[in-house]
Amino acid sequence: MPPPIRLTHGYALAQTGPEGTMTGFCVGYEFVRGEPLSSAGYAWVIRRGGGAPARIPVRLNAQGELYAFQPWRPEEGPFQAHLEDAARKQLSNAIDLR
């Protein structure tokens, strides 16, 4: 059975900020089974080529987009993302962020 949430698109974009280069991330998502629970804890997990992943707490709607910045340089990729519940169970497909 496929996961209840589908990531539809995603990207990673390097940007220069006041503290140097960072990477902005975006993913689109939609629930394909069930609905988001307001009491549930969800996390957007962004993995990089090396080092610890980022686990970003998020509030989800039936569909939408998520945006975040991390102090990572583009060469720390490749980057990949998925959504998890509070128990760290993967709830979505994983997609590459380019």
Q: What CATH number does residue 89 fall under?
A: 2.60.40
Q: Which domain holds residue 80?
A: 5-97
At residue 75, φ and ψ (nearest 5 deg) are -70, -5
CB atoms within 10 A of CB 77: 18
Confidence of residue 2 (pLDDT cuts 50, 70, 90): confident
Q: What integer pLDDT is reported at residue 44 of this predicted model? A: 98
Residue 1 has pLDDT above 80, yes or no: no
Q: Please write the tens of the pLDDT for every residue from 17-75.
A: 888 899 999 999 999 999 998 888 999 999 999 899 999 999 999 999 999 999 999 99
Give the chain's domain count. 1
